Amino acid sequence: MKKLSVIILNYKSLNLIKYCLESFEKYPPCIDYEIIIANNDDNTKDFIKFGKNYSKIKFIQNTGNWGFSSGCNLGASIAEGEYLLFLNPDTQLNETPAIDKIIDILENDIRVGISSCRTITRNGAGNEISWTSPWLLIRWIRAVYSIFNKSKNSKRFPEEENIWYPDWVGGSAIALRKNDFNKINKFSADRYWMYWEDADICNKMKKKLSKKCALIRDHSTNHIGGGCSKNTDHQALMLKIEMIISAHNYIFHNSNGIQRVTILTLYILKNITSPTIKLALNTLLLNKKNIEKYKYITIAMIQYYLKAIKRRTWRSDKLAYEKR
């Protein structure tokens, strides 16, 4: 039985997974681990062909592209490890022994339920401080919050500390105990097709098991970011819409009463007025590329809200529950 199961989700990203696996060979973790690759892509031929090159790796096929949470839960279903590490396909290990450190924290601090490390993107270090409050999905509220809580946040997240405890950690490299994963009912595959599932699982860990998140700042993984999903402008726009859709579900499941109504109302107004105004301005400026961009977003959001009213749910129609 392995100590750790590393789960990587594939969707049209086998070329990136190849580099990810090469980084494991170059910088192998000391911990006893297995690698599982779950496939959300319906291109099973290439997936099977790819798998023949890696006899020591487990491969499992999903029934469709039902989203990040679905694929990760599928991979976890065949995991033997005491610990689970969900790793994005466009992630690579480097000279810092990040995986060993991530698991070391889980082994030595029962108060920590989820751990991660700093991610190094093309533009440098990724965002390290993240909040689970649904109010902060609205940009101007987040800006005001940051201004008035600057001193408080500086004390909570001192630059000299190598471990921070934010509200949630990004899903590009996220580890937890398998027992805890099952206790909180895994990733919420019935709520999110893509995006916000990492914040949601961190919230569930805190609410159900009273455990916190830990972020290691002196160890890192390299993360291309969007490398496996944003191959075209159309895909990037589609994913932007899905991010907004997931945010609605996050707000709905992490607020209640008048608070839920208020946040959703503000968020809906933002998602309708902002692209509409930008569309009008770019039409006046005859900016053809931006006209198409904001026209797509405006129409997509109106269609989503009409569907949400008809279906009486905020969830994406890409989720598995719609197909069963």
* Model pLDDT, residue 235: 86
Residue with tokens 């499992």: 60
Report how far Cα 119 is from the mean position of its chain's Cα atoms.
Answer: 13
- Beta-carbon contacts of 214 under 8 Å, excluding residues fewer than 6 positions away, are 105, 109, 112, 114, 115, 116, 163, 164, 165, 169
Whether 169 and 316 map to the same domain: the answer is no
- Beta-carbon contacts of 182 under 8 Å, excluding residues fewer than 6 positions away, are none
Full residue range of the structural domain in which residue 266 is found: 233-322
Assign 151 to helix, strand or coil.
Answer: helix
* Model pLDDT, residue 86: 97
- Beta-carbon contacts of 122 under 8 Å, excluding residues fewer than 6 positions away, are 224, 225
Whether 125 and 186 map to the same domain: the answer is yes
Assign 81 to helix, strand or coil.
Answer: coil
Domain count, the chain: 2
Whether 219 and 157 map to the same domain: the answer is yes
Domain boundary (223, 257, 277) is at: 223
* Model pLDDT, residue 87: 96
Domain boundary (183, 202, 223) is at: 223
* Model pLDDT, residue 319: 86
Q: pTM of this prediction?
A: 0.91
Q: What are phi and psi of 230, to 5 degrees?
A: -105, 60
Local mean pLDDT, 10-residue blocks, the chain (324 residues): 94 94 96 97 93 96 93 97 96 95 97 95 71 90 90 89 93 95 95 93 96 95 69 84 96 95 96 95 93 95 95 89 48
Domain boundary (157, 189, 223) is at: 223
* Model pLDDT, residue 129: 77
Task: Judge contact between 95 and 27, C-beta under 8 A.
Answer: yes
* Model pLDDT, residue 324: 43
